[in-house]
Every structure is written in C-alpha cells, then in structure tokens.
Structure 1
C-alpha cells in the first residue's frame, strides 16, 4: 500500500521528482 501511495503521490507532484524521491526512500530504508 505504501508503494502504491508513494507512486500515486509522485505522479501527482511530478513523475520524475516523485520517482527519485521514492527510490531514494527505498534506498534509505534498505541501506
């Protein structure tokens, strides 16, 4: 659910910026 919400929010704000932010969050959680 978090992933879907993040993607939808990213699309609303800006696909590129949203994806970068989303990926950065994933890397932050993983690392």
Structure 2
C-alpha cells in the first residue's frame, strides 16, 4: 500500500469523528 493511500485513509477516518476526538488524536500524534 502506498503512503498516499494510507494518508487518504486517515483523512477519511478523521472526517467521520467529532472535532473533540480529532483534537485528542492531534495532541497524541504531535
């Protein structure tokens, strides 16, 4: 699987969750 495919999967995943969950994951990754 190409890195871009993984990136798009992550984008699709984040688009399905709430902003609070999004911020939580951002804090975890950053």
- What TM-score range do you get, normalising by the shorter chain? 0.3 to 0.5
- Greater share of helix: 1
Structure number with larger C-alpha Rg = 2
Q: Which has the higher contact order (CA 8 A, sep 6+)?
A: 1
